[in-house]
Structure 1
Amino acid sequence: MQYQTETHPSGLRIILCHEPSAVTYLGFAIRVGTRSEPRRYYGLAHSIEHMLFKGTRLRTAPQIIHRLEAVGAEMNAYTTKEETILYVALPRRFAHRALQSLFDIVRGSTFPEEEWAKEQEVILDEIRSYEDSPSELIFDEFEDQVFRGHPLGHAILGTEGSVGRIGVEVQRRFFREHYRPEGMVLFAQGDLSMEELTALCSHYFPQVATPLPTPSGQAGGLTLPAPPLRRVRRRDTSQSHVLVGRAAYSAFDPRRLGLSLLTNILGGTGMNARLNMELRERRGLVYNVEASYTPYSDTGLFSVYFGSSPEAEAEALGLVLQELERMRREPLSTTELQAALLQLRGQLTIASDNREQAFLSMGKAFLHHGYYESQQELERRLERFTPEGLHAIAAEMFCPEAFHQLIYR
């Protein structure tokens, strides 16, 4: 695949992966997420994502939907802690129609009051349904525990109280402040040319860039919280849900790939992951156990989650901590490292075959890093890690005394 990049005079960055295909993917990545919200209006970024399709200066909500879905297009959007993504997949011959609609949305959304009155109830129902799912809710509460007092800690959806305080004027002001070309990436994949993309950019965006404001919670970097906590919450659940973890390396730390590799060895998607083999296959204590690592711009989060019967909870937690300590004390052998790299390379190859996920990864990477790494480049960087280098990462990251614990039972 051939990648082209360009920066429009407005400051909008563009990345295009040209490939012959009957299907085209088009999207905008905006450098604004929940960490940019004022405390009073937690959930604001997510509420705007909902409202982007509810009316623009040119089209009503039904017109936006019909214009794209009438030709078989699939529209989607999501909000994270540090970005908002909206994108469309559709037949190539309708690409210009989709581009015009996307530009209209990110430049001309109007946030009609009557639409927000309806959508606000939708979001409140989403929050309520989420609170009925402890295996999902525990992750939000855990981030709030690790990053307590910091904008990274609160839930993407916000709370019933904070969403209830949001009005359309607040949304319009936040939209004007953050949905600007300097903080956006237009990313595309398919049988398109850079000339097509830049021509539309010049029609919709100004020719002069202006500086973006510093996102809330990022000025001066991140101050990590006080010592780790162990918290037990009483909830009406049939299972115990357990999360252990800690703050980790940022997306710009060269050690992040080593931690990603160690995370995959411990509790990745493979059934041969160490924690799955120990807790499920050998002991039958859990149905699901997984390790995850999420890097942010100035920190990250490493965690291990499992659900078990209340009777098995203590034994399962002890085995998790024991496995982390074992990785901290015992370096990987050269053979184990090569096996782990072989497995991860295979997983990356399969992931790259999913065009939509590869497209989204491209947009997010270019938004935050200004480049997109090919799989071959990523593999070359992974192969530079030695058993000694990975052992140093494990020794630092997997110290039990540094781990927060959150338990629902």
Structure 2
Amino acid sequence: MKYQTKTLASGLRIILAAEDSPVSYLGIGIAVGSRHESRLQHGLAHGIEHMLFKGTRLRSATQIIQRMEAVGAELNAYTTKEETMLYALFPSAYRQRSLRVLLDIARHSRFPEEEWAKEREVIIDELHSYEDSPSELIFDEFEDQVFHGHPLGHAILGTERSVGRLTTELQRSFFARYYRPERMVLFAQGAFTMEELTAFAEAAYPGEALPYRNSPEQAQPLPELSPRTVIRRKQTSQSHVLIGRSAYSLYHPRRLELSLLANILGGNGMNARLNMELRERRGLVYHVECNYTPYSDTGLFAVYFGSSHRAEAEAIELVLAELERMRQQPLSEQELAAALRQLRGQLLISAESKEQSFLAMGKSFLHLHRYVEDAELQERLGQITTEGLYEVAAELFDTSQFHRLIYR
């Protein structure tokens, strides 16, 4: 599939993967997330995401729903630490309707007071659902431990107290500051033309681009914290454990090596080292995983597992031992070849999901200003060496530098 890109005078960037398909995909990515909130506004970016569907200058919340749902379309959005994504899937015959609606939402949302009064309660219910799920809640608290005092640390949803403080006036101000075309990407896949996308986007965002500016929150230096162990008494039926540290950023040249190491340790495959050791050989855990999340100026590497309380200590020791083994013992050429073969297969299967590949295209263009296509990724994977993996493991897998968070 060939990709076309364009930057408009307003600064809005467009990327299109054109194909003759009965279903098309359209998204708007905005380079703003929870890390751009001030200290007393936690949950603001996520609250705005909810409110984007609650009415514009041209359409009420009901009209937005009817315009999309009436033709079988799906309208979605999500917020992360550094981005907000608004996107839709729809029959290609209704692509211009979808363009109008999405651009209207991103350009003219008005944040009515009566809608926020209702949506605030929905978000608080969402917060409570997380509190009832320790396997999800622990990830939010762990990031706050690793990035304590930094805007990256706090939970995307905020807290019940912080959400209660938010007003529609704050939402409008934040929206006006960050939902600017120079911070946005319009991305599409399906039966569009670049001329079509350009015409609608230029009508929505006429004029010249403003200088792109990061917020003071994003520019704040990252904290230098000593590793520590935090234990929370949650009275759960099992222990939930996260072990990890800060890691490479999205732009680090060794980012792909760390991704491969995370996949070897605790990726989706049942043959991942930690799954084989903790579950298959020892029967200590039901689930163990390893995650690497890159951000624009740092990253997070973490291992999570849930176990019985009696197995917790042994499982922790085995995780730390496996990390030290990777740090001390380089992979063989045969192990590297097997790991690359598995990762390539996983990427190939993942690319079969049009929705996921479409979102990956938008996210890549938003943050990297280009789309890293499969051929380029495969070439980069082919450049990974056992020496390079060993150097990454030696640098990052010093277990004396790992934070620990335990719910029991």
Match of 1:80 in 2: 80
1:177 and 2:173 matched: no
Contact 2:134 2:240 in 1 (8 A): yes
Q: Distance in 1 between matches of 2:45 and 2:222?
A: 23
1:153 and 2:164 matched: no
Query: Match for 1:74: what amino acid?
Result: E
How far has the Cα of 1:223 moved from its partner?
2.3
Q: Percent identity?
A: 66
Q: Distance in 2 between matches of 1:61 and 1:143?
A: 34
Contact 2:38 2:217 in 1 (8 A): no
Query: Match for 1:390: what amino acid?
Result: L
1:52 and 2:89 matched: no
Query: Match for 1:157: what amino acid?
Result: L
Query: Match for 1:76: what amino acid?
Result: N
How far has the Cα of 1:236 moved from its partner?
1.8
1:393 and 2:392 matched: yes
Contact 1:14 1:185 in 2 (8 A): yes
Query: Match for 1:245: what amino acid?
Result: G
TM (normalized to structure 1)? 0.99
Cα deviation, 1:192-251, whole Å, max 9, x if unaligned, reads: 11000000011111221112442242225x323321111111112000000000000000
Query: Match for 1:7: what amino acid?
Result: T
Q: Distance in 1 between matches of 2:218 and 2:212?
A: 13
Match of 2:64 in 1: 64
> What secondary structure, in the 3-state scheme, does the structure 1 residue paired with 2:21 have?
coil
Match of 1:364 in 2: 363
Match of 1:96 in 2: 96
Contact 1:35 1:216 in 2 (8 A): no
How far has the Cα of 1:383 moved from its partner?
1.3
Paired residues for 1:7-22 under 5 Å: 7-22=7-22
Match of 1:262 in 2: 261
Cα deviation, 1:233-273, whole Å, max 9, x if unaligned, reads: 11120000000000000000010000000000000000000
Cα deviation, 1:357-380, whole Å, max 9, x if unaligned, reads: 000000001000000111121111
Query: Match for 2:344: what amino acid?
Result: R
Cα deviation, 1:320-351, whole Å, max 9, x if unaligned, reads: 00000000000000000000000000000000
Match of 2:119 in 1: 119
Q: Distance in 2 between matches of 1:19 and 1:399?
A: 47
How far has the Cα of 1:5 moved from its partner?
0.3
Contact 2:149 2:223 in 1 (8 A): no
Contact 1:25 1:90 in 2 (8 A): yes
Query: Match for 1:393: what amino acid?
Result: V
How far has the Cα of 1:111 moved from its partner?
0.3
Match of 2:227 in 1: 228
Alignment RMSD: 0.8
> What secondary structure, in the 3-state scheme, does the structure 2 residue paired with 1:312 have?
helix
Contact 1:2 1:17 in 2 (8 A): yes
> What secondary structure, in the 3-state scheme, does the structure 1 residue paired with 2:246 have?
strand
Match of 1:287 in 2: 286
TM (normalized to structure 2)? 0.99
Instruction: List alignment gaps of at least 5 residues for structure 1.
Output: none
Contact 2:228 2:404 in 1 (8 A): yes
How far has the Cα of 1:152 moved from its partner?
0.3
Contact 1:244 1:403 in 2 (8 A): yes
Contact 1:27 1:86 in 2 (8 A): yes
Q: Which runs of 4+ in 1 moved over 4 A?
A: none
> What secondary structure, in the 3-state scheme, does the structure 2 residue paired with 1:218 have?
helix
Q: Distance in 2 between matches of 1:42 and 1:271?
A: 37
Match of 2:333 in 1: 334
Q: Distance in 1 between matches of 2:385 and 2:292?
A: 20
Match of 2:249 in 1: 250
Contact 1:35 1:215 in 2 (8 A): no
> What secondary structure, in the 3-state scheme, does the structure 2 residue paired with 1:94 have?
helix
Query: Match for 1:231: what amino acid?
Result: V
